[in-house]
Amino acid sequence: MKRLFFILVLAITAFTTPSFAGSSAASNPVLPADEVAAFANRVQRDLASRGANVAIVSRVGRDPSVLPDGINYTHVAFWVYARITRADGSTGQGYRVYNLYQRDGDLTQSDLVQDTPADFFAGAHSLDAGVIIPDPRLQRKLLSVIASPTYAALHNANYSVLANPHTSQFQNCTEHTLDVVMAALYDTDDRAQIKANIAAYFAPQPVPINGLQRLLAPAASQALTTVDHGAQVGTATFGSIARFMGDNDLAEEIYRITPTALTRF
């Protein structure tokens, strides 16, 4: 009996500690604001130097040591080069970040939120970003979708950290990103067609999770449900989107950037 109790505690802990990070705006920043701002500017300058009008950027929102195997980043968003208004009221060119964030007070729901690069990294556990710069043709198509009603129409507010990208039951930030990419690639806003294309061409990232953990996940947090999965759990991640885009020659650049280094995947 004591052994069973210990196993139950471990299983619950696995879901109540930040092993599976959701997508939320920063409420308790880990890193100093000046370091975050400097890194955000480094990423912006790097993207601008490459002429990126739109990029997919990811952050590390949790301690990497607690992340499941194969998952290195916990939040992704589109960065769009546009005219911006700075905090002092002046205007200029820079990047706006298009996020899907869990709703404060109800983590089972999400909202589409625009913020700044510094806001995006304010929730980071470490200054490490994964970057995908789509090829020029896909960038143009993505900009068209993001500027259209399709971008918001593809949002499903029912949030799950482990959302199955092959279904429309739940959605997380990475799945919404993938849905928008597919909408751009196939010139469609038809959800059924988008999901059919994802099922045909996209391989989700497998997430190792045993039966006991799956049973207890909703009890720990409804945002950790796996009811939209079969025997295997798999979700969209930065890495799986990077593989899909790299394998299909859809990316101009895929790389990791830190304050001191840039490494190509």
- pLDDT at residue 4 in the model: 40
- What is the model's pTM? 0.89
Q: What is the pLDDT of residues 126-173, one digit of tens each?
A: 999 999 999 999 999 999 999 999 999 999 999 999 999 999 999 999
Backbone angles phi, psi at 221, to 5 degrees: -165, 130
Terminus-to-terminus CA distance in the chain, angstroms? 47
Backbone angles phi, psi at 99, to 5 degrees: -110, 160
Q: Write out the DSSP string of 102-148.
A: EETTEEEEEEEEEE-HHHHHHT-SEEEEEEEEE-HHHHHHHHHHHTS
Average pLDDT along the chain: 89
